[in-house]
């Protein structure tokens, strides 16, 4: 049985005061979450608050990105060693917004994946297609390319040290959600592709859904056999909504 993971991607939202309020709200209710693993990924400047406020808590935390470089003259970047120093568990890699706005290629993301794993952090590898790619029938081709970049460069054993998040770009922040059947189809495809390299890794791999999961659709999505949790955007910014999604994960264990 794969433990559900509900990870909040806060993106570039919040202030110091709002971060404190949100973390307090999640901490206050997380005791009612009985089976799901809970994680939050605040913006870099607020990781110190996560480190301080989540000490001794069951809530894990991580970053929204990581440099592919170990250290050096890379202004504005944050290294895996720095994230490790702050006690991070997770690092989100390859989010569609990074691919689009920061021109991150599959090769760059694969390199980041290897660096993150080498520092004992758990990458959350994002894969997903645009609306145009879906309409052209290229969904499997696109997510396979995103996945294969890591599989081919790092191998199945390294992939096993991470988590995958399927994020249909057409469903991120749009309010449109893939149907449970649409999401399950892609999750099953990803698991089957991993199984070609290692059935053991495929069976244990957690694959999250990341396209506008909300309290109203979370339980139905996570009832699908290959959906093991969610990478949550907008709903992660409200403690009540985020905790409701975590409890929906519990319901499917």
- Write out the catalytic residue numbers: 95, 167
How many CA atoms lie within 13 Å of 152's alpha carbon, on the beta-carbon side? 9
Record the tokens describing residue 249, joined without a space.
């994960």
252 vs 223: CA distance, rounded Å: 6
171 vs 173: CA distance, rounded Å: 6
Residues paired with 27 in a beta bridge: none
Best CA proximity match to 54, nearest among 100, 83, 19: 19
Name residues whose C-beta falls within 8 Å of residue 56's C-beta, 6 or more positions apart in sequence. Answer: none
> Distance between the two ends of the chain, CA-based, in angstroms?
8
């Amino acid at each position: 049985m794969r433990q559900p993971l509900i990870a909040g991607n806060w993106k570039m939202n919040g202030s110091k005061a709002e971060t404190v309020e949100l973390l307090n709200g999640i901490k206050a209710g997380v005791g009612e979450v009985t089976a799901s693993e809970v994680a939050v990924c605040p913006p870099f400047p607020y990781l110190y608050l996560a480190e301080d406020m989540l000490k001794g808590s069951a809530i894990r935390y991580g970053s929204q990105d990581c440099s592919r470089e170990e250290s050096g003259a890379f202004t504005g970047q944050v290294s895996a060693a720095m994230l490790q120093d702050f006690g991070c568990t997770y690092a989100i890699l390859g989010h569609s917004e990074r691919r689009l706005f920061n021109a991150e290629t599959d090769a760059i993301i694969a390199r980041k994946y290897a660096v993150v794993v080498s520092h004992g952090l758990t990458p959350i590898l994002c894969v997903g297609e645009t609306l145009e790619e879906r309409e052209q029938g290229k969904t499997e081709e696109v997510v396979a390319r995103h996945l294969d970049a890591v599989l081919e460069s790092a191998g199945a054993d390294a992939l096993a040290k991470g988590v995958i998040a399927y994020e249909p770009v057409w469903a991120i922040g749009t309010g449109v959600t893939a149907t449970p059947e649409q999401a399950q189809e892609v999750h099953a495809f990803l698991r089957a592709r991993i199984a070609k390299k290692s059935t053991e890794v495929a069976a244990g791999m957690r694959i999250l859904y990341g396209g506008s999961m909300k309290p109203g659709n979370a339980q139905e999505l996570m009832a699908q056999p290959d959906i093991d949790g969610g990478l949550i955007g907008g709903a992660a910014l409200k403690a009540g909504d985020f905790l409701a999604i975590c409890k929906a994960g519990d319901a499917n264990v």
